[in-house]
Amino acid sequence: MGKKHPDDEMVICPVGRFFMDLQKTRASTRKSDFFEHLDKSRVEFLKALRSLLDESIDHLENRSGRKKKATRIEVEET
């Protein structure tokens, strides 16, 4: 049997593979509008994930009965 290529034993999602191939291509090309848009989309994707995580954390905290209550404070006028 011949040598196995490392990718033969690894399963990579098609989207991940696409971005890996793009990074290889990017190294040999100049900065282009395409890659600027791609960088911005990565940032937006990560912000979307952060938003989803924040919502999940809020939901779990509220479900556990740890609701925060407001405390009324009297203010004296001088």
CB atoms within 10 A of CB 38: 14
Q: Tens digits of per-residue pLDDT, 10-25?
A: 667 888 888 788 777 7
Asked whether the beta carbons of 35 and 43 are under 8 A apart, the reply is: no
**Banded model confidence at residue 33, pLDDT cuts 50, 70, 90:** confident
- Over 7-32, what HEC string results? HHHCCCCHHHHHHHHHHHHHHCCCCC
Q: What is the pLDDT of residue 67?
A: 59
Hey, where are the domains in the chain? 30-60
- CA distance linking residue 42 with residue 48, whole number of Å: 10
Q: Which residue type is seen at 71?
A: T
Report pLDDT digits (tens) over 38-49: 888 888 999 999
